[in-house]
Chain A
Amino acid sequence: DTEVTQTPKHLVMGMTNKKSLKCEQHMGHRAMYWYKQKAKKPPELMFVYSYEKLSINESVPSRFSPECPNSSLLNLHLHALQPEDSALYLCASSQILAGKKGETQYFGPGTRLLVL
């Protein structure tokens, strides 16, 4: 099973709202990722969690706040977003240090976010 689930599928929010995106995997992966993707562009890495600790933050604005409550869950808390933050937000997970087998990232279906 290589399934990563994300909720909600779609989200519309105002610039003063607070909302959260949720990602879940049950593959025993210990690395989880948030990406932002604009239409017809490649995904841009935002955050990486490894062993439930934030290991990479790609200089993302503080209005995006990630959280990894356990090894299966990853949240992205949103507050005071701007219209330019409207995008597809993708979650992915992978193993860590799997040796020569490598660590393929498996993606969820994404959350389409619209900020009004």
Chain B
Amino acid sequence: AQTVTQSQPEMSVQEAETVTLSCTYDTSESDYYLFWYKQPPSRQMILVIRQEAYKQQNATENRFSVNFQKAAKSFSLKISDSQLGDAAMYFCAYRSPPREYGNKLVFGAGTILRVKS
């Protein structure tokens, strides 16, 4: 079974600085998808970024980028120029290759990110 580990329960960053959230996963599959979701206090789960395992290039979305190391099974999220609105719980998630019955997301335990002004 696939597992996702987020080893940092909480992180803090100063406004305008850069922070990296860690995520490792375990799988025997070669084709899969990885996601970072953000959940602010409103508790709406918001997709931050997505990475396809078959792509070597790291995904980027504006201030958010990932460092995907397939061999090491590592998928970290870097947030540049941190803003107060980035404060949230961040979940790393793994998804198996497409299945006819839909697909299951396996979530990590989450990392609470605090942004200091």
Which residues of A84-116 have CB atoms within 8 Å of chain B's CB atoms? 88, 90, 92, 94, 96-100, 102-110, 112
Q: Are A100 and B42 in contact (CB under 8 A)?
A: no
Count A-B contacts at CB 8 Å: 75
- How far is A38 from B42 in the complex, measured between Cα atoms in Å? 14
With A40-B89, A88-B43 already in contact, the answer to whether A94 and B54 are too (CB < 8 A) is no
Binds B, one of A20-28, A48-56, A59-67: A48-56
Which residues of B73-117 have CB atoms within 8 Å of chain A's CB atoms? 89, 91, 95, 98, 100-105, 107-110, 112
Name the CB-closest residue of A to B89: A40
| Size class of the contact patch on chain A | 20 to 34
Q: Are A90 and B45 in contact (CB under 8 A)?
A: yes
Q: Are B100 and A109 in contact (CB under 8 A)?
A: no
Q: Are B101 and A102 in contact (CB under 8 A)?
A: no
Q: Which residues of B contact A96 (CB under 8 A)?
A: 98, 100, 102
Name the CB-closest residue of A to B91: A42
Interface digits, B51-66 against A, CB 8 Å rule (1 contact, 0 not)?
0101000000000000
Chain B interface (Cβ < 8 Å from any Cβ of A): 33, 35, 37, 42-47, 50, 52, 54, 89, 91, 95, 98, 100-105, 107-110, 112
Chain A interface (Cβ < 8 Å from any Cβ of B): 31, 33, 37, 40-43, 45, 48-50, 55-56, 88, 90, 92, 94, 96-100, 102-110, 112
